[in-house]
Structure formats: C-alpha cells, structure tokens
Structure 1
Amino acid sequence: MCGETKELEKIRQETERWRKETYPKSKERDVEFNSVSGEPIKELFTPADIEGLDYLRDLGFPGEYPFTRGVQPNMYRGRLWTMRQFAGFGTARESNQRYKFLLENGQTGLSVAFDMPTLMGYDSDHPFSEGEVGRCGVAIDSLADMEILFDGIPLDKVSTSMTINGPAAILWAMYIAAAEKQGVSSDKLRGTIQNDILKEYIAQKSWIFPPEPSMRIITDIFAFGAEHVPQWNTISISGYHIREAGATAVQELAFTLADGFAYVEAGIKAGLDVDKFAPRLSFFFNSHIDFFEEIAKYRAARRIWARYMKEKYGAKNPRSWLLRFHTQTAGCSLTAQQPENNIVRTAFEALAAVLGGTQSLHTNSMDEVLALPTEKAVEIALRTQQIIAYETGVTNTIDPLAGSYYVEYLTNYMEEKAEEYFRKIEELGGVLKAIEKGFFQKEIADAAYQYQKALEKKERILVGVNEFVKENETLDIEILKIDPKLEEEQIARVRKLRESRDNVAVREKLDALEKAARGNDNLMPYILDAVRVYATLGEIVQTLKNVFGEYREQPIF
C-alpha cells in the first residue's frame, strides 16, 4: 500500500506539472466545460482521481454484489435488452394495430401509453375528458377496451409495460382479467406497471388520491403480485419524469432512489417480508444527452441500491439487491427545430443506456416533440436500437467503460452527491414530509431555471435552437393527427357498455369495494371483481374517492 501511495503522489505531481507546463501550450476554447447538469468537468482524469477505489468492494463482477458492473453475469452476451417502444393513441383498436406493426418489425416487448383522462381516472364521457380522449395515448374505460387493445396478442408470450400511476391497480386488474379471457393465468403474465405515485407528487402531477391511501394501494399491489402474479414487476420507480421536469442527473438519481427506499419502508411497515416483494421492484430512468454522466448514473444507482437493500433493509435474497431498470431516451432533449437532428440525439442517448447496462429500452421518435409518432418515425427509432444491438459491437463485452478514470470518478461523484441528498431528505422527515414542504419541487425548478438560463446565454449550445439555426425554417415531416371522430366513437362505446352490462352485479361489486376500502382488506381482489363485471375505470375511481378523497397540492411560494 505504501508503494501505491507513493505512485499516486507521483502521478499528482506529474499532473500538476503537465497542467502548468504542457497544457497551456494549446489554446482552450472559450466555453464553460460543464455537464448537462451544470457540473464543472476538469480537463484530465488520472488514477489519483479514484484513489481508494477498491475493485472487489466497489466494482466487483457482473451479476455479483454490489452489481456496479451489471445485474446479470453475462449481460448482453446472454440476452439483449428488451426493445420496448412506448405506444398508444386513439381507441384500443388503433393502438392494437400499432402494437402488431411494432411486433412485426422486431420489437420484443409492449409499452402502453394511456390518454390523459385514463391517467387521471376519468371515463371518456366525463366532462373533464372532453377534447383529450385518445390524444396523448390510448383511451381505456373498461375491461372491454383492454380486451380489444390486446386482441390477437397472446399475453403469455409478450412482456407488457403500462405507464399508469394513480389508477394503476385498476388498469392492472383489467390486464389480468383480459388475460383470463384469453385463457392465460396470472402466474404466466410478465410485465410492469409504473405505479409510482411519489414521483407524481414530485414531478408529473397526475395523482388522484392523497399520499397515505395511495401508499396503501401500492403495498396491496405488492402483496397481491407476490402471491398471484409472481413474474410481474409491481412498481417501476421512475426517475424519468423527474428528469423531464428539469432535474439534474444527480437529482434524478437521488430522488428516484429515495422514493424506492420509501416504498420498501412502506412494504415493511405493512407487514410484508422485504424478500417477498423487493425482487419485483424495478426502476425507470431517463437517458439524457450527456453521454458519460448518464452511464455513471446507472452504475452508481446499482451500487447504492444493492448496499441499502442489503445493509439497511436486511434483505437476504440477492434478487432483492438488484436494481433492474428500463430506460427511455430524453424527450426533453428533443427539439421542434430541425427535428431530424433528434434521430442523432436519440442514438447517443440509447447507446449511453446500453453501455450503462439497461434491461429494457424505449427510443424516442424524431417527431415526438411535435405530436405522437408516425409509423415511419417509430420504425427509425426501433431500428436505432437494432443497429446498436447488432452492428456496433458494444454488446460483445460487459461494462466496457469500467476502469476509465473519468467514468469511475463520475460514478463515485454521483454516489457521494446522492448521499448528500439522502441526508437532506432524512432531515426533513422523509420523502412524504419533503413533498409536503415542496423540497423536491423547488430543487427541480431551480435546476430547470439554471439550464434555461445557460441556453439563453449560449453557455450551452443546442444545435438548431440557439446556434446553427436555419432562417425561415419550415417543417416538412409528416405529423400523426388524431381523428376527432375517435373520441365520439369511444364515448358511444362506454355509454353502450353501461346499458348492456349487468348493472346489479356492478353495483354489488362497487359496494363491496367501498366497504373494503373503509376496512383493512387487500383491495386488489375487490378491484378485480369489479373489473370482471365491466365496471368502468371512472366508477371504480369514484368509489375509492368516496373513501379516500382527492389530493390537492399545497401551494409553495
């Protein structure tokens, strides 16, 4: 060790000599060398920057604690990540056709985007739904719609991710019931529900119920899934939307993991064995444009999660230590100006996700800043993943950037900064208290302001926006347009359903659900019973609102 210390000291001295004597011989560009997150980056990294790094303790081997180098022993040499393009628009029938198109073109998993009324728990004929039905995703009002959405798609053969939060339990129940209609039992189903309500209060704002009943529903889902749907990821703890709201990479990392710890604590408090539900927790991260920063973020996330699950929460099952995650390229990095440039941005962001060890990936389409993607645009996005997988050679070895002085320094730095945030959140009384006090919201707003200010001052260049701009630019790419008639059709469909179903049975099941909500029973079986008799999403949500009320965010000035 003494010889190693002397060697590092010699490197430090030589680095300072190089910095004073050799580096000034070349003129440096007159720009600020900062990451997208605004972190300053020095000109050179050496072994001295990762002094104290213990390979076996801090890196280890793929598939072994602390999983810095990957959650699987062979990573992409064994199987590639799931190529899962996020899709949904109009009615269930139009989205079903898009899913079949994607599967025919080599997509390996489905990812459902729901429209705003569905996200907020309203039926398509509710007054608040007017003008929004099928616009930013697919409208799902009942089990009948879910059956159409997956018509001709065998649910025991595909893995499905559903980006739904406030009403996640209801949409999941509809999926389980749709599988039953196909003759597929729940233990055969594979996929993920996002189900991350904490990040809704922090960033995305599509909540329904107050935090405490929302957390009860989530722990009910954990328990039900562990027993009845064992292959399903019962939550996808999402940093993606935190980043899209304007957070830095460190904030995304820290706030996401803090939410994850809060869910683990809620499960334990509800009397669940951590090793019963933790193996089915998953994560969802953003992949922004700063290549190395993103890679380091994923590596740090795995190491932090493994350590906390093992050492703080006492998980014994190694699967409970694994941080498995889906990645989506950064929607907030895309530009309406020169939209073809977005193909290049997405390719680099996707490559960062792969080099960071993602298990699943969505690549944004070039036109998503303008509208939902066309078939042509989404095909290019999918082909981007396939080119990375089959042509670039980056899947041939595991964690190829490990050992880079910069990458290892950045991984350590991310971990240190995340720990600082964990301490602040703890001092505030935990995640829920920090949400009530507006801590997360203010941190993200400040970061977004700093980023925008850097763009306006041209301290950060965004190609085609504040530099390399085309005068009198006109958009000449095809845009997907949603036919307004689809909303009328969806409204007619849900009204016809209410007339044709057994409304006595619906009333009985909704009353049973309300009684269960006032007690302590697990709510999932009652929600499933209501779904099976074709109670609508809005009816089930309203039944729970009768008991739990609705959440109103505390204004922060």
Structure 2
Amino acid sequence: MYDDEDLAAIRDEKERWTEETLDPVLERHGERQDRFATVSNLEVDRLYTPDDVADIDYEEDLGFPGEEPYTRGVYPTMYRGRTWTMRQFAGFGTAEETNERFRFLVDEGQTGLSTAFDMPTLMGIDSDDPMADGEVGREGVAVDTLRDMEILFDGIDLEEVSTSFTINPSAPVIFAMYVALADKRGVPREKLRGTMQNDMLKEFIAQKEWVTPPESSLDLVTDTVEFAVEETPKIKPISISGYHIREAGSTAIQELAFTLADGFAYVEDAMERGLDIDEFAPQLSFFFNSHNAIFEEVAKFRAARRIYANVMDEWYDAEDPKSKQLKFHTQTAGQSLTAQQPLNNIARVTVQALAGVLGGTQSLHTNSYDEALALPSEDAVRVALRTQQIIAEESGAADIVDPLGGSFAVESLTDETEEKAMEYIEEIREMGDGSVRDGVLTGIEQGYFHREIQDASFEYQERVEEGEETVVGVNEYTMDEDTRPEILEVDEEVQERQQSRLAEVKAERDDGAVEDALTDLEDAIETGENTMPAIVDAVKIGASMGEIMRVFEARHGSYSETVGVA
C-alpha cells in the first residue's frame, strides 16, 4: 500500500524519532516492563508503522466486506444492517425451570436461545442411570425424552426463534428431538433455525466428552450434516468449536489452527461421503473464544476468515461464495473469570465482547460475573445481556464495518496470526499424508493436541505465578474480605422430579415399538445408512437418550484416551 520510497522515508523518520524523542524518555523513565506480550505470550512491538504491513496487497489480503477473502467481514453492511445475535447460555434443573429462564431472557431483549445441558445428557445417559446420580440438572437442563423437549420449548415459536444446542456426543439425539418436536407442532423442517455444536473432534482434543471412538463419532457427525442438507437447511449441524480448546489452555493461535483443522477434517469427511462441498459448506459454522488481549483477538477473527476463504477455494475447490464465508459465534472467556472479586468479571467480559464485535462475530454470548462460582443468577445474566446491548446501542462499535481495518498494529498481528496458524495446519496435514482429516485423527491418537495445549497452559500458569502476567484481584490488587455474591442454587429435588417424569414416559409408551425402533437403528448402523431418520423415529415413540446412545456404544465400543509421550 506504500511504495519503496515512502517506506524508506518512514524508516528514516522512525530512526530519527527513536534517537531524538524515544531514547531520552526511556533513559529517564523506562517502561513498565521489559517485555510486552498478549495473553498467548505473542510479543507485541512498541509501535507499528506502514513498514510493518509493507507486504500487504489490499485487494488480495483485505478487500471489501462481503467479498473474498472476507478479512473485513462476511457481510457488506455488517452491524449497520442488523446487530449480531445475542445469545445467553441458559439451562439448569428441569425443562420447566429452563423454559422459565428462556422466557425471561427473551423478555429482556435476547435475540437467540442457547441451551446448556446437564452432564448426564451431554454424555448420553438417562437421569435414572446410576452414573447420573448427583449430576441431574446441575450444570444444565436434563433432557431424557421428547417430552422434556416439549416442555423446554413450551410457548416458544420454533419458526421465530434461533436456538443453539451446546451438546456433542449425544447431539444427534437432541437434533432428532428438535426435529420431532417441530413435526409434532406442524412446523416445516425447512423453517427451523439454529445450531448444533456437535463437534466431536474438539471433544477428543480438549473437552474430553465422548461415547464411541473418534472415527465412529466422526461418521455420526457427518450423518447429521447430510441430514441437515436434505431436511433442515437453516440449521447449522456443526459449530466447529475452538472455545473449549482455548478454555483447556491453548494459545489464540493454537485455538485458531486446531479449530480450522477440525473444520477442514469435517469438510473432507463429508466430501468422502459423496456430498458436494457447495451443498453442505454454507451450513457449517464456527465457535471461538474471546479473551482479554483485545487486538490479538480481533486479529485472530480476521485471520480466521482469510485462511478459511483461501483454503476452501484452493484445497477443496469451493465455488459458492457462501462456502468460503467463515461465520462464527463468540463466547467470552470463562477461563478468565475469577472467583475473587467477581464484579471485576463485568469489565473483563466487556473487553472480550467488544473484541468479538470489532472482529466481526455473527452471534455473541457474554459470560455472567458469577459463573466462576455457580450457574448464573438472573441479575448476573441480565448484566451480561445488557453489556451486549450497551456495546450495540451506545458504544458506536456497531456503526463502522471493520473499524480496526487498516490499523498498522492489527493488520500486522493479523498477518502474523495467519502465518503461525497455517504452520500448524500444514503440520497436521502432513501428519495425515496430505489429508487434514487423517492428520487430526492421527494427532488425537498420538496425543499431539494434548501435548501442545498442555505446554501452553503450563507456560501461562507459570507466568501468572511468577508475576509476569497480572490477574487483577488474584495476584495483584487483592482483597481479604469475602466478595462473593448470592448464587443460584439448584433444588435438591430436581433429580427425583426428573426421574419420575422419565418413569412416566417409559410406563406410558409402547415398549415393543421402542424395541423395534432401536432394532431399526442397529440395522442402519450395520448397513452404513444415515442414522438420523432412525433416531427421529425412535424419539417420536418415546425412546430415551440413554437407550439410543447405548445402541451406538454397543456397535462401536467405548473409547479410552491414550496420550503418547513427546
């Protein structure tokens, strides 16, 4: 963007500035610390100039919003057209209690629902399973059968609301329940809107929740992709998630690289299934973390769009522009929340949410200030939602498309992030002999991702303990008094109530029909058919989450992680 003569003049002028203006100040006062770096320990310079972005080609590397390579955003008007979808994660206790929270959030101005499930539901077991004891409704809502789904969305218009489901191993069953609910209400499947997280690869990499081994889990994910293309074109069947990779302790660059690698693995698996890339790729979505280092996060989001557009074009021959548009949800960093002085978390979440907006997110969840202690209270979740609304309505951040575009610092960080992320992606591709899919599966089996994240997490914690990284209220600016707010308590009777409802469903249903439906599912697995239609049929006649997932486990076996030694 600058010619050689301009750059030479800028370099000369910077040298003069250094000698005449900067050095005298450094000699007298110094700086706060010897080294400045992001949360991910990426060193940042004191000053950026056009010389730092001398290699950028505006048309090829930046372009305009809504056009390749989408660095500046996937839509030409971005938030001037409409703001991002505001989703607050909600779910606890029984379906009745979560439905009440859903209605509260909608009344407060939330524009999309986001469902949290309890651990038994996440792991595909029923509330009456001995393994579920003490966990029912504790960290999310318990959903055993279609009846729970009916109560969960009572009074909520499925044609109007966009719903996100944060669930992975048992995501196909929840997807089937949502489709079955729509069928029961007479809502056309093609009008359903929402997102299934359904990202099993990141489970094996970071979050560690699974039922069957990686390859069979991947097959089931691709079943949902194929089903969604044919039946629910407005539902995104996978939200390829870097959030949990970051929460496990990765750097921003690792989060970006591993997430995109997972995405490309899903693309390759679907193409191997015989799906046309331009039929399914527009329905893929992504889910990123937003941490405290605001410029690093903005650079990460911008680099993500550029890498995705280029790779989908050059590696997979995507032609439809929508196949090359990386659209993503952002959640503020749960890992950054502190139990000490929890009101400080409001400031952290604001900075992180602003980074997501400046980076061009399509939807956003803001964590509640009390989440380091318990499930969020109504007061806390209202403040979290108001934070988004203030950013949207009062800050001006939504008024300019890609407002940090052209910043020497942000463009330089975007380039550096892209380069380092691509190094990881190419390494993973090499591990698979040219296949990202095989490289990801190999990396999981060999413990590659585990080691990379573990090392990054250890290095960060070491910096905190040595005082190189300041965490306000934890290792600096501490207080002795108790600053904990009142927290949400889950009723001890939730488990009993949920088990009673499950027992009622099992008592009222036709057990013979359920057995036949589960046999049909077994046959579909055995013959390699898409299993989603059989799952939908099973939930409609009362088959439970646990009964369905045990069919998959019986066919494919369970999985135990083996982490290799570096």
**1:262-341, aligned counterparts within 5 Å?**
262-341=265-344
**1:19-418, aligned counterparts within 5 Å?**
19-26=18-25, 27-418=30-421
Q: Look up the equivalent residue of 1:23 and give its one-letter code.
A: L
The secondary structure found in structure 2 opposite 1:22 is helix
Contact 2:88 2:113 in 1 (8 A): yes
The secondary structure found in structure 2 opposite 1:517 is helix
Q: Distance in 1 between matches of 2:426 and 2:553?
A: 35
Contact 2:342 2:484 in 1 (8 A): no
Deviation of 1:476 after TM superposition, in Å, equals 4.2
Q: Distance in 2 between matches of 1:143 and 1:25?
A: 72
Q: Distance in 2 between matches of 1:468 and 1:415?
A: 36
Alignment correspondent of 1:434: 443
Alignment correspondent of 1:532: 540
Q: Look up the equivalent residue of 1:495 and give its one-letter code.
A: A
Deviations 1:390-439 (A, max 9, x none): 11111111001100000000000000001110122123221110111111
Contact 1:8 1:47 in 2 (8 A): yes
Alignment correspondent of 1:506: 514
Deviation of 1:30 after TM superposition, in Å, equals 2.8
The secondary structure found in structure 2 opposite 1:237 is strand
Q: Distance in 1 between matches of 2:10 and 2:416?
A: 20
Bigger mean CA deviation after superposition, 263-272 or 424-433: 424-433
Q: Distance in 2 between matches of 1:262 and 1:488?
A: 42
Deviation of 1:72 after TM superposition, in Å, equals 0.7
Q: Distance in 2 between matches of 1:403 and 1:368?
A: 36
Q: Look up the equivalent residue of 1:458 and give its one-letter code.
A: G
Deviation of 1:218 after TM superposition, in Å, equals 1.3
Deviation of 1:181 after TM superposition, in Å, equals 2.0
Contact 2:150 2:181 in 1 (8 A): yes
Q: Distance in 1 between matches of 2:15 and 2:263?
A: 42
Q: Distance in 2 between matches of 1:156 and 1:232?
A: 12
The secondary structure found in structure 1 opposite 2:3 is helix
Contact 2:278 2:318 in 1 (8 A): yes
Deviations 1:302-346 (A, max 9, x none): 000011111110011110001000000000011000000000100
TM-score by length of 1: 0.98
Q: Distance in 2 between matches of 1:169 and 1:289?
A: 34
Contact 2:446 2:563 in 1 (8 A): no
Aligned residues: 555
Q: Look up the equivalent residue of 2:508 and give its one-letter code.
A: S
Report whether the alignment pairs 1:15 with 2:14. yes
The secondary structure found in structure 2 opposite 1:84 is strand
Match among 450, 463, 469 for residue 478 of structure 2: 469
**For structure 1, which runs of at least 5 residues remain unmatched after alignment?**
none
The secondary structure found in structure 2 opposite 1:365 is coil
Deviation of 1:13 after TM superposition, in Å, equals 2.9
Deviations 1:29-60 (A, max 9, x none): 23531110011111110000011101111111
The secondary structure found in structure 1 opposite 2:367 is coil
The secondary structure found in structure 2 opposite 1:191 is strand
Deviations 1:283-315 (A, max 9, x none): 000000100000000000000001111111001
Contact 2:171 2:198 in 1 (8 A): yes
Alignment correspondent of 2:489: 481
Q: Over aligned residue pairs, what C-alpha RMSD do you find?
A: 1.1
The secondary structure found in structure 2 opposite 1:283 is strand
Identity %: 58
Q: Distance in 1 between matches of 2:15 and 2:509?
A: 78
The secondary structure found in structure 1 opposite 2:369 is coil
The secondary structure found in structure 1 opposite 2:287 is strand
Q: Look up the equivalent residue of 1:462 and give its one-letter code.
A: V
The secondary structure found in structure 1 opposite 2:194 is strand
Report whether the alignment pairs 1:446 with 2:452. no
Contact 1:31 1:459 in 2 (8 A): no
Report whether the alignment pairs 1:522 with 2:530. yes
Q: Distance in 2 between matches of 1:519 and 1:209?
A: 18
Contact 1:37 1:249 in 2 (8 A): yes
The secondary structure found in structure 1 opposite 2:500 is helix
Q: Look up the equivalent residue of 2:157 and give its one-letter code.
A: P
Match among 492, 503, 528 for residue 495 of structure 1: 503
**For structure 2, which runs of at least 5 residues remain unmatched after alignment?**
433-438
Contact 2:445 2:563 in 1 (8 A): no
Q: Distance in 2 between matches of 1:31 and 1:126?
A: 56
Deviation of 1:250 after TM superposition, in Å, equals 0.4
Deviations 1:480-517 (A, max 9, x none): 01011011111111122111111111000000101111
Contact 2:450 2:563 in 1 (8 A): no
Q: Distance in 2 between matches of 1:476 and 1:361?
A: 26
Contact 1:363 1:381 in 2 (8 A): yes
Alignment correspondent of 2:435: none
User: Given the superposition, is the C-alpha separation of residues 131 and 31 from structure 1 closer, same or farther in structure 2, using an over 3 Å criterion?
Assistant: farther
Bigger mean CA deviation after superposition, 525-534 or 427-436: 427-436
Q: Distance in 1 between matches of 2:350 and 2:184?
A: 39
Deviation of 1:248 after TM superposition, in Å, equals 0.5
Contact 1:164 1:195 in 2 (8 A): yes
Q: Look up the equivalent residue of 1:324 and give its one-letter code.
A: K
Contact 1:187 1:231 in 2 (8 A): yes
User: Given the superposition, is the C-alpha separation of residues 277 and 342 from structure 1 closer, same or farther in structure 2, using an over 3 Å criterion?
Assistant: same
Contact 2:117 2:139 in 1 (8 A): yes
Contact 2:98 2:152 in 1 (8 A): yes
Contact 2:224 2:237 in 1 (8 A): yes
Deviations 1:113-158 (A, max 9, x none): 0000111110001011111110000000010100000001011110
Deviations 1:144-175 (A, max 9, x none): 10000000101111000001111111100001
Q: Look up the equivalent residue of 1:509 and give its one-letter code.
A: A
Deviation of 1:377 after TM superposition, in Å, equals 0.3
The secondary structure found in structure 1 opposite 2:183 is helix
Contact 1:264 1:274 in 2 (8 A): yes
Q: Distance in 2 between matches of 1:489 and 1:365?
A: 28
Q: Distance in 2 between matches of 1:41 and 1:131?
A: 47
Contact 1:32 1:459 in 2 (8 A): no
